[in-house]
Structure 1
């Protein structure tokens, strides 16, 4: 995080609507720029069953494979 990301304006030579002359400089607060493109598709999941032809009382392993990292997944 760079704390020097600010915009500075020299106020000398400027006047406000009331005619008051500007003095010194004005600086913005620190800012950041997000250069990562927006992710509008969201994650997808492939669900695989070890046995897809179950009978009463049988169990099988279920695998969830996501195409990107996910958070807060609750099995």
Structure 2
């Protein structure tokens, strides 16, 4: 699957798998570099998705044309 098509959750799952494999230290240097490169791409993609979500929240919390950020609580 193309990274740009991944959901936030899919990208995080793949990123976690890469981190775990690299932490074991049982892979060749070249493979580690490829994993690192993919990990950076995944991290940038998740940051982009989080930024987009933040922008949506900002739009939804605008009050009378004024930007008014409100705290988000999961309660």
TM-score when normalising by structure 1 = 0.22
Q: TM-score, normalised by structure 2?
A: 0.22
Give the helix-richer structure, 1 or 2. Answer: 2
| Greater fraction of residues in strand | 1
Q: Name the larger-Rg structure.
A: 1
